[in-house]
Amino acid sequence: MDATFWALVGLVLFFALLIYLKVPGKIGGSLDNRADTIRKELEDARKMREEAQALLSDYQRKRHEAEGEAEAIIAEANSEAERLTVETNKALEEMIARRTKAAEEKIAQAETQAIAEVRAKAADIAVAAAEHILSAKVKDKVADDILAKSIAQVKDRLN
């Protein structure tokens, strides 16, 4: 019975004690529990990854839709701006034409009025000149009758 034998006996007793206290089962159970925990964490991580992928694809789809809507809004705004530009130019041209026509009408009216004033002034001057000439050459009642008729004729023809 040497030391090696007692070392072997101690080792066998140690393993027997471990088996009696069910240490290998506890270690195996602990490892199984840890494996289950890791499996659950992996499953949760997979689910979270799938949810993240779904969210990512949803946000990408929404972004593409928003970009499409933005492009449509920009296109509509551009066409509206072009339409408004055309309408504004047309309205401006019409306003310029109306004002030009109104100015031309005022000028024509002013010309007509000026001609009428010149004619009236000329008639007054002609009547005064005729009255002066006739009064100097013709006398008495005949002169008054001729003068009255001449003045009336000149006024009628000039006005």
How confident is the model over 32-89, as pLDDT tens digits? 999 999 999 999 999 999 999 999 999 999 999 999 999 999 999 999 999 999 999 9
Alpha helix (H) residue ranges in the chain: 3-20, 23-137, 140-158
Q: To which residue do tokens 């034409």 refer?
A: 97
Query: Rounded to 5 degrees, what are φ and ψ at 22?
Result: 60, 40
Cα end-to-end distance, the chain, whole Å? 167
pLDDT for 159: 60
pLDDT value of residue 45: 96
Task: Give every CB contact of residue 159 below 8 A, 6+ residues apart in sequence.
Answer: 119, 120, 123
- State both tokens at 8: 């072997």
pLDDT recorded at residue 134: 66
Run of H or E residues at 1: none
**Structural contact between residues 134 and 150, judged by C-beta atoms closer than 8 angstroms:** yes
Q: In this structure, what token pair is assigned to residue 41?
A: 């964490």
138 and 147 Cβ atoms separated by less than 8 Å: yes
Q: Answer whether residue 127 shows pLDDT above 80.
A: no
Mean pLDDT over 120-128 rounds to 83
Q: Would you say 159 and 120 are in contact if contact means Cβ atoms under 8 Å apart?
A: yes
> What pLDDT does 23 receive?
82
Q: Do the beta carbons of residue 131 and residue 151 sit within 8 Å?
A: yes
Assess whether pLDDT exceeds 80 at residue 8. Answer: yes
Q: Is residue 27 pLDDT above 90, yes or no?
A: no
Rg (CA), the chain: 61
Whether residue 93 has pLDDT greater than 90: yes
Question: 101-112 pLDDT, tens per residue?
Answer: 999 999 999 999
What local confidence, expressed as pLDDT, does residue 12 receive? Answer: 93
